[in-house]
Amino acid sequence: MEKKNIVVLDGYTLNPGDLSWDALHELGNCTIYDRTAPDQVVERCQDADIVLTNKVLLRESEIQQLPRLRYIGVLATGYNVIDLSAAAARGIVVTNIPAYSTASVAQMVFAHLLNIVNAVQQHTESVRNGEWCRSTDFSYMLSPQTELAGKTIGIVGLGNIGRTVADIAHAFGMRVIAKTSRRAEDLPSYITPMPLDALLAESDVITLHCPLTPDTQHLINKHTLTLMKQGAILINTGRGPLIDEEAVADALNSGHLRAVGVDVLAVEPASCHNPLLQARNAFFTPHIAWATYEARVRLMNICLDNIRAYLAGTPINRVG
């Protein structure tokens, strides 16, 4: 069988050098780009049978100019970077990578939460600067230390990641409530489903794990922020536009929110004008919750399995 031409448009975030592309090269004539600008897509994919992309857009205009293209593999779970209607009109198979980063993203939720409630880095810097050496007391605190046991965590969206967050929160001794379409009898006894307004009112910590849709864009906004407890903590490792960043920044600066921890922003890379960047008690990671070595190995392996299945005529993880 003639080998297919495979083009990877933005391979750097998946493999910055610690993984191997060898198995992909075995599946076809492979060209790998670390990054691709929008105006380079058509030129680079002109002879491609298979295109792999993470964040580079393949819209109708690009798809119509790629006559050989028969398969698009999205190197992520979300596939909004692909015009599925245009792909379907051409009979192009589109696949994604489901559930590869569940444990890693859930871990980042608690990395942010523990950073907020214990301020380990802040105290480390204080000790390195000699403040403990100069202290007259054996112990001092630069910020309130908060025990998670007994606190209420509200999880918005109870898919794979939301369920894993619930399990970890339960292990910490937290009360777990969730906004979910699942019935109470289908959930573990330690998860209590409830409407969003009630969840926001009762939660000490709110963490977002719902998909981004027209209904969930700016789910956290000026109005819903007023429903939250004074001093609540907000975590977003889902999608940046789930929160109205200006409204959240205002809630932080007024003291209504204790802190926010985010791994995602509405515009990425971050805009220097993003109001959250200057807000008090706002903590950031640059969209890396998904990117542990272990998760990226899983992503690569699922990507390879997806291509093998497509070449065998039995596509898996198909979204279009």
Same domain for 278 and 242: yes
Same domain for 304 and 166: no
Q: What is the pLDDT of residue 2?
A: 84
Q: What is the pLDDT of residue 1?
A: 67
Amino acid at 316: I
- Look up 268 and say whether it is catalytic: yes
Contact 25, 5 (CB under 8 A): no
Does 318 reside within a domain?
A: no
Per annotation, catalytic residue among 163, 175, 209, 239: 239
Same domain for 44 and 148: no
Same domain for 152 and 9: no
Domain limits for position 142: 102-284
What's the rounded Cα separation, in Å, for the pair 318 and 185?
31
Per annotation, catalytic residue among 175, 258, 287, 298: 287
Does 266 reside within a domain?
A: yes
Same domain for 125 and 77: no
CATH number, domain with residue 298: 3.40.50.720
What's the rounded Cα separation, in Å, for the pair 221 and 244?
5
Does 69 reside within a domain?
A: yes
At 72, give phi and psi (nearest 5°).
-120, 120
All residues at 6 or more sequence positions from 138 whose CB lies less than 8 Å from its CB, including other chains: none
Number of independent structural domains in the chain: 2
Does 320 reside within a domain?
A: no
- Look up 239 and say whether it is catalytic: yes
Same domain for 270 and 185: yes
Same domain for 201 and 84: no
Same domain for 307 and 192: no
Same domain for 140 and 84: no
Per annotation, catalytic residue among 60, 125, 268, 294: 268
Say if pTM beats, i.e. exceeds, 0.85: yes
Mean pLDDT of each 10-residue bin along the chain, 320 residues long: 93 98 98 98 98 97 97 95 97 97 98 98 97 97 97 97 98 98 94 98 98 95 98 98 98 98 97 97 98 98 98 97
Same domain for 141 and 13: no
Does 317 reside within a domain?
A: no
Same domain for 182 and 141: yes
